[in-house]
Amino acid sequence: MSEANDSSQPGRRDFLIKAAAVGIGAVTTLVPAGAGLVTLLDPLRHKAKAGRFLRVATLNSLPEDGTPRQFPVVSERQDAWNKYPEVRVGAVYLRKTGPKEVQAINVVCPHAGCFVNYQPDQRNYLCPCHNSRFALDGAIKDASSPSPRPLDTMEVKVEADGAVLVKFENYRAGIHEKIVAS
């Protein structure tokens, strides 16, 4: 019996050595392959980062009485595999709602994507395409407005130096839900 064990030892050792070699080979193959996959999917990761805070204006550029002002939103843009330098990605109305509070509203009408205009005499927004009317805070102002939802508001951060940053997004038009456009 002990002879049988002795004779099986070299075979077993060979098996273990081969198994270890296969394991190491698999690890050395899969790690670079995994890294390659991450690199390949990198544009998608960047896409997921969309909606980061972008510097749009300064606090002292906004009227104290809460009148909205329109600002372009400029950002680096990235599609699936290309990165572009700073380009205009949209526009917002900003208005002061307190000494250091600002509301941001996307200028795009949620009905079909026209740009709304601020009407100073009526202190509301009007969409020139199908006459949706919105209050100063973006709420639908009259029931005959065809827009399916209020104007789209976005998160705002005011920094210590007075910079106003907006977590900018464009949203899908024509639906009740506020869903980021892909």
Closer residue to ligand FES in complex, CB, 103/147 = 147
Residue among 91, 87, 119 at smallest CA distance from 106: 91
Closer residue to ligand FES in complex, CB, 111/141 = 111
Smallest separation (angstroms) from ligand FES to the CB of 175 = 13
The type of residue at 68 is: P
Instruction: Show the tokens assigned to 175.
Output: 């639906």
Burial 82-104 (b: 16+ CB within 10 A, else e): eeeeeeebbbbbbbbeeeeebbb
Closer residue to ligand FES in complex, CB, 57/109 = 109
Residues that bind ligand FES (CB under 6 A): 109, 111-112, 114, 127, 129-130, 132, 146-147
Which residues have C-beta within 8 Å of that of residue 110, sequence separation ≥ 6?
A: 147, 148, 149, 150, 151, 152, 171, 173, 174, 175, 178
Alpha-carbon distance values, 43 to 37, 50, 82, 88 (Å): 11, 11, 8, 20
Smallest separation (angstroms) from ligand FES to the CB of 141 = 12
Closer residue to ligand FES in complex, CB, 68/102 = 68
Smallest separation (angstroms) from ligand FES to the CB of 174 = 9
CA–chain centroid gap for 145, Å, is 28
Query: Phi first, then psi: what are they for 25, rounded to 5°?
Result: -60, -45
Closer residue to ligand FES in complex, CB, 28/119 = 119
Closer residue to ligand FES in complex, CB, 12/130 = 130
